[in-house]
Amino acid sequence: MQSPLITAYYVSAGLFAIQAFFVAMLVRPSLHATQTHYVRVMWSQAGINLLFCALQLCTAWQYSSTDLVSALLAHKWMNTFYVVIPLLGVLTIDKVVRSPESSHYSIFFRVLAAWTMVLLAYNWLSPYGYRFDSIDASARVLMPWDESLLLLRGAPSVVIDLAWLSGVFAILYVLRMVSMVHHTGDKPTTVYLLATVTLVLLTTGIDRAIDAGLLDFPYLDGFAVVLLSFVWFALLGRDIRKSYQYYASTKDKLYREIEQIKSSDLVTHLPNRAGTLQLLRPLLDQHRENGTGLAVFLLDIDRMDVLRGTYGHEAADTLLSLVATRLTEQVRDSDWVARGAGTTFVVVATGMKRGASLQQLHSQAALQLHEKINSVFALPFTLDGHEIRLSSYTGVALYPDNGTTADSLLACAELALHEAKNQSSTALQAFYPELRKQLRSQLEMESELQLAVQREQFELHYQPQVCAVTGRIQCMEALIRWRHASWGWVSPAQFIPLAENLGLIHPIGHWVFHTACQQLVAWRKQGHHDLRMAVNLSAYQLDAPELVGNIEKLLADYGLPSNALELEVTESVLLKNPQRAIERLQRLRQLGVRLMLDDFGTGYSSLSYLRVLPVHGFKLDRSFIQSISDNKKDMAICSTAIDLAKVLELEIVAEGVEQFRQAELLLEKGCSKFQGYWFSPPLNADSAGQCLRSVAAHSFAPTGSLAAVECGSPPLQPQAA
């Protein structure tokens, strides 16, 4: 090779350029978008590398020049890069290391910038650049390896020493930056770094000796900087890899944490609903593969709202976590407990036998688990020194019988739980397919019922209550009918409980009262002066504080005597607030309204209710009447009830009399008031009016066959009449 040193300059320039390119490539990934620190350091390194590349090229240009003019031009460019590079280094420190956020430049940078401007101006204005005052014309130097270079020599200028001083300061400043940015405790890298820095300092020292005219040698610091730059580049690359790994691992960890929070309940630390679904899905896959069954229990703690209201949220949460602990202790390791919505818990029993013939075994295992769940609530919980007893409702859905997906199983368990609550039964309620249909049609009916009042789909039918002694109709019972546009007639037994739950019973009841009173006024005007109207009153209606006032106004508005209205209540009015119910009934009685206890004998402890409730009489439920002709026990019950009425001086009405024989037997025992299909089914207003007219003319007496026929029933011929 003819000129190895010049080649080395070109090679080093190429290395600087390549590195600048790589650094620029490294900055690009969006990974560093938030790490402005690295981005800036790297861009400035790329910039410095390019400047060094230019410096090396200019050095090669000068040393290989054939004439002094070209060598001087190259020299001036070299000088330019020499003074700009430290300035860029200091700028990097200022912007990146020292105060990344600050928009101010350090004093040092400002002074250096000003000084650099002076040097640049001086460099380009003076004939020989800022280093020399004069140039020795015979500048060629032969290197020991026979390479001839055009090294400029001459009288050093006055500014060169100052330039050197500022250069030294800049280098120290930059070195400080390197030590600040780079905190690796890793020994080899520290050694490399120190070695290259030493090399840079050494070559810079040599440069100084050359400038001072002590040495006849080319500038070598560019080579040392190539090395330094490579080490620096390697360090940065490693830091970036590390930070990427850290970023990736923290992202992973964070993601896991978020998932954990999302899927676990903060109170009980059990999986929440989302977590339950997440856990249930792979579990179902596993059971599908194994051909085993699984049971999803959903249990709701009763009266938790009351406890929350009484003891506060924190205490209620403590209770829930106590329940969670007990539940977790009870189940097998292979089963698991999770938190459902609100106050519910999910318990999953895994690995059960399955198959149609094994259905029973399957549910036996379920029963065993239910026993375990119940045992959780057998002992009281202690909260702030109070003993609290809890109970729960439980619904269960089985895989694969009731559903094959996590969502569908949970939905089935929810419906079963709903049914358990509906039945107020703490026994285990299993899901069955009809349940869904039932509840769906109930939902449908609920929304239709909301509109029924506005759409005027209700109608009142009237069923006569007959006195067998006089053969007259004493009272008409108003019975509501709902004529739905597509379903036809809907039984009140179906929709009244719904209306009660939805609070619709109040507008419906209001309509019934008005319609019944209007009809009664009309009939009374037609000559049925003593006719009464019986209206059914649900417990929810009695609950309304405005009831008594409303009825008083109603009677006044229609000009009816208060005893023309009879209210039929069932013993269910005593369920919620017996004291208030009795008080309300007493006020109604004081008003003069007649009160009857409906469906007598169907609930519990009806006898004591007769004593407690201020009623004028009771209606013996049709279930006793049904089989009095062939069931001695029922007959005995009926005659006892009749005797009881006599003793208590209460009126008694027999409901659901369907056969002549039933009326006959009851009459024998002393009950003379009847209601039932034998006399007349409930009739619409017109038919009921006709019935009233014909009975008034002929009565239900033995000879009154015509009247009975017109009312839709065969005539009654009571023997004792």
Q: How far is the CB of 675 from ligand C2E (least distance, A)?
A: 6
Residue whose tokens read 């009916």:
445
The site string for ligand C2E over 566-595 (x = CB under 6 A, - otherwise) reads: --x---------------------------
Q: Which does 493 bind (CB under 5 to 8 A by kind): ligand C2E, Ca ion, none?
A: ligand C2E
The only residue of 480, 642, 667, 711 in contact with ligand C2E, by rule CB under 6 A: 480
Nearest CB to ligand C2E, comparing residues 199 and 453 = 453
Task: Based on the shown chain and the rule CB under 6 A, indicate whether residue 296 belongs to the binding site for ligand C2E.
Answer: no
Cis status, amide bond into 400, omega within 30 of 0: yes
Token pair recorded at residue 178? 């390197």
Q: Which does 284 bind (CB under 5 to 8 A by kind): ligand C2E, Ca ion, none?
A: none
Please identify, among the stretches 19-27, 201-209, 372-380, 476-484, the one whose residues bind ligand C2E according to the rule CB under 6 A. Answer: 476-484
Q: How far is the CB of 519 from ligand C2E (least distance, A)?
A: 13
Q: Which does 480 bind (CB under 5 to 8 A by kind): ligand C2E, Ca ion, none?
A: ligand C2E
Residue nearest to Ca ion (CB): 568
The only residue of 164, 230, 660, 677 in contact with ligand C2E, by rule CB under 6 A: 677
| Length of the chain (residues) | 721
Task: Based on the shown chain and the rule CB under 6 A, indicate whether residue 465 belongs to the binding site for ligand C2E.
Answer: no
Nearest CB to ligand C2E, comparing residues 13 and 479 = 479
Q: Name which of 507, 497, 560, 510 is nearest 533 in CA terms.
A: 560
CA–CA separation, 504 and 512 (whole Å): 12
Q: How far is the CB of 572 from Ca ion (least distance, A)?
A: 12
CA–CA separation, 147 and 395 (whole Å): 97
Extract long-range pairs of 185-189: CB within 8 Å, 24+ residues apart: 189/231, 189/234, 189/235, 189/238
Give DSSP secondary structure letters for 75-135.
HHHHHHHHHHHHHHHHHHIIIIII-TT--SPPHHHHHHHHHHHHHHHHHHHSTTTTTEEEE
Q: How far is the CB of 600 from ligand C2E (least distance, A)?
A: 10
Q: How far is the CB of 568 from Ca ion (least distance, A)?
A: 4
Q: How far is the CB of 464 from ligand C2E (least distance, A)?
A: 10
CA–CA separation, 497 and 689 (whole Å): 29
Q: Which does 479 bind (CB under 5 to 8 A by kind): ligand C2E, Ca ion, none?
A: ligand C2E
Instruction: Based on DSSP, count helices (H) and strands (E) in the chain, helices before strands.
Output: 24, 21
The only residue of 403, 676, 715, 718 in contact with ligand C2E, by rule CB under 6 A: 676
Task: Based on the shown chain and the rule CB under 6 A, indicate whether residue 493 belongs to the binding site for ligand C2E.
Answer: yes
Buried b / exposed e over 370-403, threshold 16 CB at 10 Å, is bebbbebbeeebeeeeeebebebbbbbbbbbbbb
Q: Which does 415 bind (CB under 5 to 8 A by kind): ligand C2E, Ca ion, none?
A: none
Taking residue 585's Cβ as centre, other Cβ atoms within 10 Å add up to 24
Q: How far is the CB of 656 from Ca ion (least distance, A)?
A: 8
Token pair recorded at residue 159? 């500014």
The only residue of 237, 351, 492, 603 in contact with ligand C2E, by rule CB under 6 A: 492
| Cβ neighbours for 298, distance < 8 A, ≥ 6 positions apart | 340, 344, 345, 346, 394, 395, 396, 397, 410, 413, 414, 416, 417
Contact by Cβ (8 Å): 638, 619: no
Q: How far is the CB of 599 from ligand C2E (least distance, A)?
A: 6
Token pair recorded at residue 213? 């005219």
Task: Based on the shown chain and the rule CB under 6 A, indicate whether residue 44 belongs to the binding site for ligand C2E.
Answer: no
The only residue of 326, 528, 622, 673 in contact with ligand C2E, by rule CB under 6 A: 622
CA–CA separation, 324 and 8 (whole Å): 77
CA–CA separation, 46 and 20 (whole Å): 4
Nearest CB to ligand C2E, comparing residues 196 and 463 = 463
Q: Name which of 603, 661, 605, 656 is nearest 631 in CA terms.
A: 661
Contact by Cβ (8 Å): 94, 109: yes
Helix residue ranges, H only, 264-381 = 273-290, 304-311, 313-330, 359-376
Q: Three-state secondary structure along 424-441?
A: CCCCCEECCHHHHHHHHH
Helix residue ranges, H only, 457-538 = 492-502, 505-525
Tell me the torsion sign for CA atoms 164, 165, 171, 174: negative
Q: How far is the CB of 702 from ligand C2E (least distance, A)?
A: 21
Token pair recorded at residue 350? 């895994």
The only residue of 599, 617, 672, 716 in contact with ligand C2E, by rule CB under 6 A: 599
The only residue of 123, 363, 538, 672 in contact with ligand C2E, by rule CB under 6 A: 538
Nearest CB to ligand C2E, comparing residues 480 and 671 = 480
Helix (H) or strand (E) holding 25: helix 4-27
Q: Which does 614 bind (CB under 5 to 8 A by kind): Ca ion, ligand C2E, none?
A: none
Residue whose tokens read 């769906």:
440
Please identify, among the stretches 87-95, 294-302, 607-615, 656-664, the one whose residues bind ligand C2E according to the rule CB under 6 A. Answer: 656-664
Q: How far is the CB of 676 from Ca ion (least distance, A)?
A: 11
Nearest CB to ligand C2E, comparing residues 432 and 677 = 677
Burial zone of 282 (CB within 10 Å; 0-12 exposed, 13-18 middle, 19+ buried): exposed
Nearest CB to Ca ion, comparing residues 304 and 620 = 620
Nearest CB to Ca ion, comparing residues 534 and 667 = 534
Q: How far is the CB of 261 from ligand C2E (least distance, A)?
A: 50
Q: What is the binding site for Ca ion (CB under 5 A)? A: 536, 568, 598-599, 655
Q: Which does 658 bind (CB under 5 to 8 A by kind): Ca ion, ligand C2E, none?
A: ligand C2E
Q: Which does 492 bind (CB under 5 to 8 A by kind): ligand C2E, Ca ion, none?
A: ligand C2E
Q: Which does 677 bind (CB under 5 to 8 A by kind): ligand C2E, Ca ion, none?
A: ligand C2E
Counting Cα atoms < 13 Å in the Cβ hemisphere of 193 gives: 21
Helix (H) or strand (E) holding 392: strand 392-399
Q: Which does 676 bind (CB under 5 to 8 A by kind): Ca ion, ligand C2E, none?
A: ligand C2E
Q: Which does 464 bind (CB under 5 to 8 A by kind): ligand C2E, Ca ion, none?
A: none
Please identify, among the stretches 153-161, 438-446, 520-528, 651-659, the one whose residues bind ligand C2E according to the rule CB under 6 A. Answer: 651-659
The only residue of 271, 403, 656, 718 in contact with ligand C2E, by rule CB under 6 A: 656
Contact by Cβ (8 Å): 264, 272: yes
Task: Based on the shown chain and the rule CB under 6 A, indicate whether residue 512 belongs to the binding site for ligand C2E.
Answer: yes
The only residue of 211, 335, 414, 598 in contact with ligand C2E, by rule CB under 6 A: 598
State how far Cα 689 lies from the chain centre: 59
Q: Which does 656 bind (CB under 5 to 8 A by kind): Ca ion, ligand C2E, none?
A: ligand C2E
| Cβ neighbours for 530, distance < 8 A, ≥ 6 positions apart | 474
Nearest CB to ligand C2E, comparing residues 156 and 492 = 492
How many residues bind ligand C2E, per CB under 6 A?
Answer: 21
Nearest CB to Ca ion, comparing residues 465 and 694 = 465
Residues lying near ligand C2E in the complex (CB under 6 A) are found at: 463, 478-480, 491-493, 496, 512, 536, 538, 568, 598-599, 622, 656-658, 676-677, 682
